[in-house]
Structure 1
Amino acid sequence: MRIKLYSGFILLLLCSTAAKAQHGLNSIYSAYGIGDLESRDYSRNFGLGSTGIGRRHTGYLNELNPASYSALPTQNFMFDVSLKAQSINYSGSGISQSSGDVNFKRLAIGFKAAKFWGIGAGITPFSTVDYKLNNQQFVIGTGAPVTATTTGTGGINRAYISNGFQLSKNFSVGVSTAFLFGPLNTSEYVGSDSLQTQHNQYGFKPNFTLGAQYAGKISKDWQLGLGATYRFQTKMKLQEKLNIVDENGTTLYSKDQDPSSFTLPVEYGAGIVLTNGTITWVADYKHQLWNTLNEKGATYAYQDGQRYSTGIEYTLKRQYFNQTYEGTVLQAGFSYNQTPLVVSSTQIKDVSGTLGVSLPSKNGQLRYYIGLEAGQRGQTGTALVKETYVNAVFNFSLRDIWFFKRLAQ
């Protein structure tokens, strides 16, 4: 049975990698900086508005706060895979179209290294670049305009190793060591010209996040959880290469350009949790200090970003071999994200509502999770596009027992 489970997860991972290549989205907001910055969490926090900085839970991997890994159960190995399907409608000045996409969003493992020490590791997208722009240009010596096309692809990935340490009965701390890396590619051609001008950038830089959590009873049945995180500022160096490519993909000219940089700012967050084991309420706040960072473009700039989110969860209990376990979990959440991107003097906002359900397998080793999100980002106006979207997240989590010693017959 265990071999079948592992084989199924490997097959799912291969399918998700293939799905990642099926690009269908075209977001103008990914054309700025290092692309669309990921603000969602694709674990079981998704249905709670991606909220969980203050939450400690033994049943899933919570990367929103590395201190949470100290709560992982001993002798357990946990494995997570997440996919996201998205349908989106674009509207604006002369724009009305729809598209969809399926992408890999999370691969993670976690285990307890010692009684006081939990470890998590994984990879997830940090930003995404996916856009295509057409505009009219005039060629010197002619009076007729031609269409210039610019296409952007790529994005930054986040691979991480996180450690959580329990310092006392109520207090835990943690640190997440992340490696940010990936390509940011732009391709341009004018009219029917078969030559493409490619600006291919690649960035790599470590990044660190600290976390702390407090958990304690406030009454016989209710427990309070508090959490805080601090992500350090990171200046990414972007290596760039200029390529001139013909219609057959042959490189006619190539030159290394002077490197540029992009500064990822300090981010701090705080969260609160109230739970009695059946009903759980969570709320988070995050703030990013963008105001004085990065060069401003002609039509865009960066400003401090803020994100508010909250959610409620209801857990049904189940009996298995005379013991009580977590059964079906139902969730609802809301988030309001004032993103750091400012286009045409308008700060881009993202508002959404979420639902989630987590279902256990018969023996409890495997959990299936489905999260739904509906929302809107941006607005109509000069150089602006309103995006109305529906996201569906599919998460599969496997829990296995390590170092289990059977009694002699």
Structure 2
Amino acid sequence: MINRIILGVCLLTLSGTYAQQGTASPYSYFGTGEQKFKGTNEIKTMGSLAVFQDSIHINTLNPASYANLQKTTLAVGFSNTSAKIHTANATEKSNRSTFDYFALAFPAGKLGVSLGIMPYTFVGYNIANTIEENNQKIAREYNGEGGISRTYLGLGYKITPNFNIGAEFAYNFGDTNNRTTKFIADDGTGFLINRGSQQIISNDYSGFSFNTALSYSKVFSDQMKLDVAVTYSPQTTLKNKQTGTLSTVELSSTGNLNTIDQINIDAPKKDLIMPQKHSLGVGYGQNHKWFVGAEYTGVQNSKLNNFYTNEQNATFEDSHRFSLGGYYTPKHNSFEKYYHRWTYRFGLKYENTGLVLNDQSIKDTSVSLGFGLPIGVNRDSSNINIGLEYGKKGTKNHGLIQENYFNISVGFSFNDRWFQKRRYE
């Protein structure tokens, strides 16, 4: 079945991979934007655990897990995020729908192979404020759009029945556009000067990244299972072609901006550092029944200060994330009650994002629930995975912004046997 629908799914998902504005977060103004979770729906609803691994789901956080796959698996996911953005004095709402991932994986003896495409970061903000300079009120507006996507090829190999090793090679590409517009809203006598300036800085990123993983799994006689996983991504660099323009603009009576003149400006060449990242996770549970895992992830985001040195009141520090999650399946082989074969997932996440504004570290906390609905009569069947996540990012204090967000995600995981000669045709 999977090989009959793969072409249609490819065309549907890949057509929406590019040019989507996947965030409306003001925090996407900083760095390369808001990072998109690079895992599948079922992993996300378990707190983003790289340690989790089984034989029918793709875990793109842990390439060593590919060696455990027993069927060819196609995974595709979408999500919708609604958010309330709060300051001390105002509240705004936003809503975005995005394509999240397309991944294909298949077993080849002791080797597991996966390839796919997914967004890596999103830029999408619209910020307006007014400041006073020399007894004049200056109105400023900041707009940004774009992001970075990634394609990957991952390999997992079973060294022994208990140990797997894995590696992932990714190509990252994309562009961002950041626009700053300024007008004199009050020249000191109450008049608006309808001519102002607009600066546009465009970045075009491209380059490779690398991820490695080592995992250990031990199944005991009573079907209890212990999982341990370590991942490591070394620091890499993305090439950046940066261009810029400076324009004089005029505000029309209808509120539109008209460009009067424009010049190109020199933009310094700055290659972007992708900091090193590591994680350590441990999980325990009963095969096909339940699982609980915990994980720590650290990223050397302080290296980003070498790239973004002109942001006022903004710096970067090393970030960390603590995750807790798991699942429960009442009876995976039940023929009487369909909902007994559902998989119920949960997750908790606490993250220091590494962004520091006004001397305040920006935190992101969330809780998630998930439901895995099998399509077929056994646990190895294809499945639909529905996820719900509620979280909070930032704070209303210290002149900053707090985002309360709610995410609904839907993922499809299609499983079938490929490359296997049939006994009967």
Give the TM interval when normalised to the shorter protein: 0.7 to 0.9
Q: Pick closer, same or farther for the CA change 1:370–1:16 going to 2, 3 Å.
A: farther
Cα distance in 1 for partners of 2:326, 2:2 equals 33
Q: What are the Cα deviations for residues 169-203 of structure 1, in whole angstroms up to 9, with x where unaligned?
A: 10010011111221121112233548743211111
Cα distance in 2 for partners of 1:15, 1:4 equals 19
Contact 1:350 1:376 in 2 (8 A): yes
Q: Pick closer, same or farther for the CA change 1:187–1:193 going to 2, 3 Å.
A: farther
Contact 1:263 1:294 in 2 (8 A): no
Q: Does 1:279 align with 2:299?
A: no
Equivalent residue number for residue 60 of structure 1: 57
Contact 1:42 1:393 in 2 (8 A): no
Equivalent residue number for residue 123 of structure 2: 129
- Aligned runs of 1:104-183 on 2, under 5 Å? 104-112=99-107, 114-136=108-130, 144-183=136-175
Equivalent residue number for residue 260 of structure 1: 270
SS of equivalent to 2:267: strand
Q: What are the Cα deviations for residues 51-106 of structure 1, in whole angstroms up to 9, with x where unaligned?
A: 1x222211111011110000111xx3211111110111111132211111101111
Mind listing any 5+ residue stretches in structure 2 that lack a counterpart?
184-193, 250-256
Q: Pick closer, same or farther for the CA change 1:83–1:16 going to 2, 3 Å.
A: farther
SS of equivalent to 1:9: helix
Cα distance in 2 for partners of 1:30, 1:353 equals 22
Out of 184, 205, 213, the residue aligned to residue 176 of structure 2 is: 184
Q: Pick closer, same or farther for the CA change 1:310–1:190 going to 2, 3 Å.
A: same
TM-score, structure 1 normalization: 0.88
Cα distance in 2 for partners of 1:300, 1:223 equals 45
SS of equivalent to 1:156: strand
* CA-CA distance at 1:291 after TM superposition: 3.4
Cα distance in 2 for partners of 1:250, 1:117 equals 61
Contact 2:325 2:348 in 1 (8 A): yes
* CA-CA distance at 1:408 after TM superposition: 4.8
Q: Pick closer, same or farther for the CA change 1:241–1:342 going to 2, 3 Å.
A: same
Q: What one-letter code is carried by the residue in structure 1 that aligns with 2:210?
A: F
* CA-CA distance at 1:319 after TM superposition: 4.4
Cα distance in 2 for partners of 1:262, 1:15 equals 27
Q: Pick closer, same or farther for the CA change 1:14–1:204 going to 2, 3 Å.
A: closer
Contact 1:84 1:104 in 2 (8 A): yes
Equivalent residue number for residue 384 of structure 2: 368
SS of equivalent to 1:126: strand
SS of equivalent to 1:306: strand
Contact 1:262 1:294 in 2 (8 A): no
Contact 1:239 1:257 in 2 (8 A): no
Contact 2:86 2:92 in 1 (8 A): yes
Out of 232, 235, 244, the residue aligned to residue 234 of structure 2 is: 232
Equivalent residue number for residue 389 of structure 1: 405
Q: What are the Cα deviations for residues 223-270 of structure 1, in whole angstroms up to 9, with x where unaligned?
A: 111000011012233211113577579995446633113322211101
Contact 1:16 1:83 in 2 (8 A): no
Q: Does 1:350 align with 2:347?
A: no
| RMSD value, Cα | 2.8
Q: What one-letter code is carried by the residue in structure 2 that aligns with 1:154?
A: G
Of 5-14 and 288-297, more deviation after overlay is shown by: 5-14
* CA-CA distance at 1:341 after TM superposition: 0.6
SS of equivalent to 2:271: strand
* CA-CA distance at 1:403 after TM superposition: 2.8
Cα distance in 2 for partners of 1:57, 1:177 equals 22
Equivalent residue number for residue 28 of structure 2: 30
Q: What one-letter code is carried by the residue in structure 2 that aligns with 1:379?
A: T
Q: Pick closer, same or farther for the CA change 1:181–1:68 going to 2, 3 Å.
A: same
Q: Pick closer, same or farther for the CA change 1:166–1:248 going to 2, 3 Å.
A: farther
SS of equivalent to 1:237: strand
Cα distance in 2 for partners of 1:16, 1:320 equals 38
Mind listing any 5+ residue stretches in structure 1 that lack a counterpart?
none
Cα distance in 2 for partners of 1:149, 1:222 equals 57
Q: Pick closer, same or farther for the CA change 1:158–1:22 going to 2, 3 Å.
A: closer
Among all aligned residue pairs of Structure 1 and Structure 2, give the percentage whose two residues are the same amino acid.
27
Equivalent residue number for residue 253 of structure 2: none
Cα distance in 1 for partners of 2:269, 2:196 equals 28
Q: Does 1:69 align with 2:66?
A: yes
Q: Does 1:334 align with 2:345?
A: no
Contact 1:186 1:200 in 2 (8 A): yes
Out of 305, 310, 313, the residue aligned to residue 294 of structure 1 is: 305
Cα distance in 1 for partners of 2:92, 2:396 equals 14
Cα distance in 1 for partners of 2:259, 2:115 equals 37
Cα distance in 2 for partners of 1:400, 1:261 equals 43
TM-score, structure 2 normalization: 0.85
Contact 1:88 1:99 in 2 (8 A): yes
* CA-CA distance at 1:14 after TM superposition: 6.3
Q: Pick closer, same or farther for the CA change 1:7–1:182 going to 2, 3 Å.
A: closer
* CA-CA distance at 1:11 after TM superposition: 6.5
Q: What one-letter code is carried by the residue in structure 1 that aligns with 2:35?
A: L
Cα distance in 2 for partners of 1:156, 1:22 equals 11
Q: What one-letter code is carried by the residue in structure 2 that aligns with 1:394?
A: V
Cα distance in 1 for partners of 2:53, 2:69 equals 9
Equivalent residue number for residue 224 of structure 2: 222
SS of equivalent to 2:351: strand
Q: Does 1:9 align with 2:9?
A: yes
Cα distance in 1 for partners of 2:3, 2:68 equals 27
Contact 1:82 1:107 in 2 (8 A): yes
